[in-house]
Amino acid sequence: MALRRREFTALLLGGAAALGLAGRAAAEGDPLPSWNDGPAKDAIVKFVHATTDAASPDFVPVAERIATFDQDGTLWVEQPIYTQIVFAFSRVPEVVKERPELAKEEAFRAILSGDRAAIAKLSMGQLLSVVGATLTGMDVETYRDEVEAWIKDARDPRWKRPFTDLVYQPQIELLKYLRASGYRTFIVTGGGQDFVRAYSERVYGVPVEQVIGTMFDLGFKPGADGKPVLVRESKLLLNDDEAGKPEGIHLVIGRRPRFAFGNSAGDREMLEYTKAGAGARLGMIVLHDDAKREYAYGPAKGLPDTKIGTFPQALYDQAMKDGWIVVSMKNDWKRIFAFA
């Protein structure tokens, strides 16, 4: 197991973080080059210094350094529709072949016809029923392989690139900066836990055990070779959205985060829970106000309304009142994608 110099340095840096030296080491260069100077970047750097400097009154022990990030719209593009839904759609023809009665349902008919107007009209409930029918029934290892294979080949229609290229470069830098400062970074997503686990390590540097997401019940059954496997069942165990986010955080981590980052109404409870803890806590929320480089949607601040990733004005007002930092994609992010 030969270690490259970079890995060895990372190992030593992990030790340095535990010793509270990481803030100093990271300060030598700009850890957040894709962030414009301004209040958002300032808030991050001040928070990291305050919580990792052993002499600070807000110092946080390494074990308690927990940072949680929503995924869709916070770490990568969620418009015009969640990537996991695109994956579910891609499986519809195959699933309908096995269960022809599904073709009679409105959602399946719309997807099979490719009628974009009809698809756009489907409710979130209808979309979830498609997810339930297409992304369950197989064992968790097969499912992971299928997501991995699909996500390597699939392309976003606007940028003609893999969906995993559409991660926000400022957030990749932030994740790395927090980790270099002794924080463990978790993804807390309304998306499927096992969907995100299939690429979280490669794309975000977040290992599978640090992905909390919507969970389905699992059946313990003999697999093809008779050896037991865990089969994805259609019964929802935890909807990791809204109040489900702090619940999922408690079940998987058991500690209240020090830092939380979201972008929509589904992240409200996670931000409230994080900020309600004692000591230094930072809550941040992305406002998608950049139609040119990404998308513009709210409806906060008069931005267009959308079914996906809704950021209502009331949430904006709550952010202002409770001291969550609103990150303007347009003003706070120098660069959005690594490829740009």
The residue (of 20 and 191) whose beta carbon lies closer to a second copy is 20
- Neighbouring residues of 238: CB distance < 8 A, sequence distance ≥ 6: 214, 215, 244, 247, 248, 251
Amino acid at position 202, single letter:
R
Smallest distance, a second copy to C-beta of residue 48, A: 16
The residue (of 42 and 141) whose beta carbon lies closer to a second copy is 141
Please report, as ranges, the residues that interact with a second copy according to CB under 8 A: 1, 3, 11-12, 14-15, 18-20, 54, 59, 61, 63, 140, 193-194, 197, 207-209, 211, 215, 217-220, 227-230, 237-238, 243, 246-247, 250-255, 269, 272-273, 276
Smallest distance, a second copy to C-beta of residue 233, A: 10
Smallest distance, a second copy to C-beta of residue 246, A: 6
Smallest distance, a second copy to C-beta of residue 6, A: 14
The residue (of 170 and 213) whose beta carbon lies closer to a second copy is 213
The residue (of 8 and 339) whose beta carbon lies closer to a second copy is 8
The residue (of 41 and 232) whose beta carbon lies closer to a second copy is 232
Smallest distance, a second copy to C-beta of residue 219, A: 8
Smallest distance, a second copy to C-beta of residue 112, A: 32
Q: Write a three-state SS string for the chain.
A: CCCCHHHHHHHHHHHHHHCCCHHHHHHCCCCCCCECCCHHHHHHHHHHHHHHCCCCCCCCCHHHCEEEECCECCCECCCCCCHHHHHHHHHHHHHHHHCHHHHHCHHHHHHHHCCHHHHHCCCHHHHHHHHHHHCCCCEHHHHHHHHHHHHHHCCCCCCCCCHHHCECHHHHHHHHHHHHCCCEEEEEEEEEHHHHHCCHHHHHCCCHHHEEEEEEEEEEEECCCCCEEEEEEEEEEECCCCCHHHHHHHHHCCCCCCEEEECCHHHHHHHHHHHCCCCCCEEEEEECECCCCCCECCEHHHCCCCCCCCECHHHHHHHHHHCCEEEEHHHHECCCCCCC
The residue (of 246 and 298) whose beta carbon lies closer to a second copy is 246
The residue (of 40 and 187) whose beta carbon lies closer to a second copy is 187
The residue (of 42 and 209) whose beta carbon lies closer to a second copy is 209
Smallest distance, a second copy to C-beta of residue 212, A: 9
Smallest distance, a second copy to C-beta of residue 305, A: 26
